[in-house]
Amino acid sequence: MTIRMIAFASAVLSVSAWSALAQPAQMQRPSGGQRTMSAESLPEECRAAVQADGQMQNMQGMDMSGMMQNMQGMMANMSEARKGYMEAMMKMHGPMMTGMMIKDPEVAFICSMIPHHQSAIDMANVALKTGDNAEAKMMAEKVIKDQGQEITQMKEWLKKNTK
């Protein structure tokens, strides 16, 4: 992937994150089949904290449809693995940015790490599906197991430590 492509993808992912904040109750499906998840994919405790802090109103009205179409064009020539990794990252950024908007620093950390860990699981699943190196597949399986356990721990922490 060229530097220009990486820079463009980073810009699109940033806009994707802010767009997901602006539309928290739905999944956006750009024309092309990719999915970016909104804040709806976060645990209830995270969504409640963001809404309680009043941050969602600040994000209303952002539109990124043109950027997403450009991203889809760029992804058209990518391998299945690259597309899978890019989709996992795009799905992560909106909810991760939403979590970071929470005022309480510990809750913000936990709420941001849940989609981050889920993205690692999604990417590991891509590696299992598209890769053929046994050692890499073992690492991917470990990521799935470990990150899944940590997501469970984080959700339990949220239940104990949020109002």
Note the pTM of the prediction, 2 decimals: 0.71
73-98 pLDDT, tens digit each: 777 788 999 999 989 988 898 899 99
> Domain tally for the chain?
1
143-159 pLDDT, tens digit each: 999 999 999 999 999 99
Which two three-digit tokens encode residue 107? 């809750």
Supply the range of the domain harboring residue 120.
3-161
Q: What is the pLDDT of residue 40?
A: 75
41-82 pLDDT, tens digit each: 899 999 999 888 776 544 444 445 555 566 667 777 889 999
DSSP notation for the chain: --HHHHHHHHHHHHHHHHHHHH-TTS-B--TTS--B--GGGS-HHHHHHHHHTT-GGGGTT---HHHHHHHHHHHTTS-HHHHHHHHHHHHHHHHHHHHHT-SSHHHHHHHHHHHHHHHHHHHHHHHHHH---HHHHHHHHHHHHHHHHHHHHHHHHHHHH--
